[in-house]
Structure 1
Amino acid sequence: MRLCLCVRVTLFIGVGHETTGASAYSSDEIRGLLDWLQEDPANRHAIIDATSLLGAMPWPPVLVAGVLARCCLFMPLQKAIGGVAGYYVASFTPEALEAIGRNLARPSWAIARQLSLSVPKDLAHPLTGGRTLATGPFYDPAQDQMLGGVINTYSLLAFAETTYGLSCLAQSIGPASALNARSRANLALVEDWVGREPLFSLAVGRAEKRGTAVTLLCVNDPDIAPLHGTILARAKQLLGHQGLTHPDGQHEPGLRAALYVNAFPGMAGDFRAWIGGVRPAEDIHALLENLRHAWLRAKALVIAEELAARGEDAPALAALPGLQRLAREVEDLAALLGGLRDGADLARHRDALTAGLQGLAERLATVAPD
């Protein structure tokens, strides 16, 4: 008689921050996951894609600590060598490493050498001498050292560049916990701004599901619904380098304020922006104001183009060309004032503000409706 003991291993595989749609797991969902893992840690494992979680974990610190301790995390070194290129950093729970070690003796299927976490015990007998995790490509946080080497030269370079960048952030801002706190504060800033700005709303309706690495904004302007896509495209031109060319031939230079704010096709939302813990709050506020400014400027342009295509003039612009220029000067001054961060900024721009206000006063004295 043969006895077969079958052990069922259950995996949960998820994405910590789904940046395409700007959503994340809620605190209740994370709490439920941690409780589920704790019930059978040897046979229950969670594998989380943490690509955009570093410095942007939206949960309370106690849940963040639980995720780091009980979940296996992996993240590609996206920005280190120009692309993902198949190189990842992964963290494993002790239970997951034990399961990997057991699988070495009788692997369930062939494992590509590039993905192998084990190395030969005896380099003189790489195929028959057995394999071990003890000197694999692991960093041991308890010992604060690498147990073995990295898989290849490219991953070494990527790892070195990534860790250098993280050390710079730690010196300038603080540890990952400080970045997490800043990311939550930045999301609160966005939510407060949107709550006061009827033109915008957040694509993720449930507050507890919003991520803190990325925000996704919708423009609510039903009066020009047929022109929505055209205005959005022109607004992004103004936000970047291209700028806008008005029907009268005048060119409005690009703001260079947001070069990549595209929402993914098919996703709800018009502007998608990174707001994680690296960015200071004043930059987030300036970005939001620029989004609003760009939309209104693009809307005026597209309406003027539609009227011109029908052979009609935009009354305010055609009848009062001087006021058209005045409006732009007022907007320029407003943008400058909105970008001032402190008293030092005000002092540096005092001359420009004074000259601008004097010019406006002179024009207002000479420009009047017919």
Structure 2
Amino acid sequence: MTIIAKPAVRPNNPRFSCGPCTKHPGWSLDRLGGALLGRNHRQPETRERLALALERTRQLLELPADYRAAIVPASDTGAVEMALWSLLGPRGVDVLAWEAFGREWVVDIVEQLKLPDTRALLAPYGDLPDLGQVDFDCDVVFAWNGTTSGVRVPNADWIPADRNGLTICDATSAVFAQAIDWSKLDVTTFSWQKVLGGEAQHGILILSPRAVERLESYTPPWPLPKLFRMTRDGKLMEDLFAGSTINTPSMLCLEDYLAAHAWAESVGGLKGTIARSEANAGVIDAWVTRTPWIAYLARVPETRSNTSVCLKIADPDVLALPPETRDGFPLAMADLLDREGIAKDIASYRDAPPGLRIWTGATVQKSDLEALMPWLDYAFAETRRSFAKAA
């Protein structure tokens, strides 16, 4: 059995978690010294900082001039829930799911909202649903990038410009890392904790004019909690999209997000953060290409994520193990690398097929991924040897 020497080079930063994701290079608590702590969030100075975060978000993402953005509670999940509970109902719904979080939106729409005219277009981990089957006379709910499966939509070409329904997109692992055609999205959500490495608990909700029109012309038949309300007397709460918030935000987290904006601008803005993500994913792709014991969970190359890279064991000897033993193999690898201080949090998501999941978003340094690859080979060889002894 092959024995591989422990690599000499270690990643400088072992944080490869898919969320919350690693802070940007050069990050320091000292950068947050200007946070307006202990201040009411509705005062002019604090509202100005919140509005600045929204304006920088708009600029960095190159949003259309007539699209609105708001800071909302409860991370990306809260932003998605606001959209589902406030907008769905007037039309049928097609909800696409090919990983854990998409399936949660199916549960919300079918079991909680109990919308009768709903189709769930499902695919197993590693695949996309048939995008050609989507009915755009309906409202369409989908994730741009499946964080737990490493499968993304390749582009927005499958979404017609003249659609009748709204498109509601959970884009939390795609924003700042993948090119997005905003004209094809009516509602887009993300959280600070992903590609820019911000702190958790805050979400961003982006609305097109079509989404605003729906909000102002439709009142859901179910009660809406305060945290979901975006209209008052039938009109959009414009102050929500100008620096006000529904509940109290963390000014420390806000300052951290602004620091992440400054870093993103320093690496070339949106083009720079996308390029960094692509280069990072390219390190893993080159390694997978030359490594016979590993494979992508995403079967089609065009649908492979450049942020949440999900991998599965392809070694015939490991695949021949009893299911419980086989499924524990990648977790044992991840545990070994964690103990060594080489890679934190790289086991697959709890509901996903057993494997490895490595974040390659813009805040990760390419050199750290290059250092990680030999350690993956080492961990595989050591784990296989350990399992062989146990047998």
TM range (shorter): 0.5 to 0.7
1:291 is aligned to: 376
Q: Deviations over 1:216-256 (max 9, x none)?
A: 12222223432544543432232012xxxxxxxxxxxx2x1
Q: Which residue of 274, 280, 283 maps to 1:189?
A: 283
Indicate if the aligned counterparts of 2:331 and 2:355 stay in contact, CA closer than 8 A: no
Give the residue type in structure 2 aligned to 1:53: A
1:102 paired to 2:187: no
Q: Percent identity?
A: 21
1:153 is aligned to: 248
Deviation at 1:15, TM superposition (A): 0.7
Change (3 A) 1:132 1:179: same
2:102 is aligned to: none
Indicate if the aligned counterparts of 1:69 and 1:93 stay in contact, CA closer than 8 A: no
Q: Which residue of 139, 145, 157 maps to 1:31?
A: 157
Q: Deviations over 1:174-202 (max 9, x none)?
A: 31332122222322332222111112111
Change (3 A) 1:55 1:237: same
The 1-side partners of 2:184 and 2:263 are apart by 23
Indicate if the aligned counterparts of 2:330 and 2:354 stay in contact, CA closer than 8 A: no
TM-score between the two structures when normalised by the length of structure 2: 0.57
1:47 paired to 2:168: yes
The 2-side partners of 1:180 and 1:99 are apart by 32
Between structure 1 and structure 2, the one with the greater Rg is 1
Q: Which residue of 347, 363, 369 maps to 1:262?
A: 347
Deviation at 1:131, TM superposition (A): 5.5
1:240 paired to 2:316: no
Give the residue type in structure 2 aligned to 1:194: V
Unmatched segments (≥5 aa) in structure 2:
1-89, 92-136
Change (3 A) 1:303 1:109: closer
The 1-side partners of 2:198 and 2:234 are apart by 30
2:238 is aligned to: 135
TM-score between the two structures when normalised by the length of structure 1: 0.60
Q: Deviations over 1:199-222 (max 9, x none)?
A: 211111100111111111222222
Change (3 A) 1:68 1:39: closer
1:13 paired to 2:141: yes
Q: Which residue of 208, 215, 220 maps to 1:93?
A: 208
Give the residue type in structure 2 aligned to 1:138: F
The 2-side partners of 1:98 and 1:158 are apart by 34
The 1-side partners of 2:236 and 2:344 are apart by 45
Higher relative contact order (CA 8 A, sep 6+): 2
Deviation at 1:75, TM superposition (A): 2.2
Q: Deviations over 1:88-118 (max 9, x none)?
A: 3200001211221223xx6544332221113
Change (3 A) 1:159 1:100: farther
Give the residue type in structure 2 aligned to 1:285: E
1:357 is aligned to: none
The 2-side partners of 1:265 and 1:113 are apart by 32
